[in-house]
Amino acid sequence: MTQGAAASHYDAAGEQHEVSSWAVGFILFAGVMMIMAGTFQVFAGLVALFENEFFVATRNYVFQFDATAWGWIHLLGGVVVAAAGLAVIAGQTWARVVGIVLAGLSALANFAFIPYYPFWALTVIAIDIFVIWALAAHGRDVTA
């Protein structure tokens, strides 16, 4: 199938509708980004757990947590996001909703993490925003 072409797809009611290869590509990309972001978050969490002095927070920040707490937040959140990304790629309907919620929570957590590692946090927020858009705008086109 050429890029931008459409393919037939039958929904749960048995009705046929066209599915854009662009939509499928966006969903696949969102799933891969979720897996990558989740894996990167796991690594950031492990760094915070094993090397507390790597992340240094600015003084007097409202969302000031211990590096170990951030380590657990990133580690556990990363595992869940990566697992949801695999489910998105598998075409699971529930994974779209879970992916949107997790990407939103990830963006909020990384907003609070900005003083510790600004470039990293802003990069993950940008990825989360793209994932939310792709799953919300095109998620219905790819179902199991």
Q: Would you say residue 30 lies in a domain?
A: no
The residues pairing with 20 across neighbouring beta strands, listed in sequence order, are 6
Q: Would you say residue 9 lies in a domain?
A: no
Q: Which domain holds residue 119?
A: 39-51+63-144
The answer, as to whether pTM is greater than 0.85, is no
Q: What is the maximum span of the chain, computed from C-alpha positions, in angstroms?
A: 59
Q: Would you say residue 137 lies in a domain?
A: yes
Q: Which residue has the higher pLDDT, 97 or 17?
A: 97
CA dist., res. 65 & res. 53, Å (int) = 13
pLDDT digits (tens, 9 = 90+) for 2-56: 444 444 555 556 666 566 777 777 888 888 888 888 888 888 788 877 776 666 5
Confidence class for position 104, pLDDT limits 50, 70, 90:
very high
Q: Would you say residue 32 lies in a domain?
A: no
Q: What is the mean pLDDT of residues 53-64?
A: 60
Number of compact structural domains in the chain: 1
Confidence class for position 62, pLDDT limits 50, 70, 90:
low
Distances (CA, A) of 80 to 13, 63, 77, 120, 127: 31, 22, 5, 19, 16
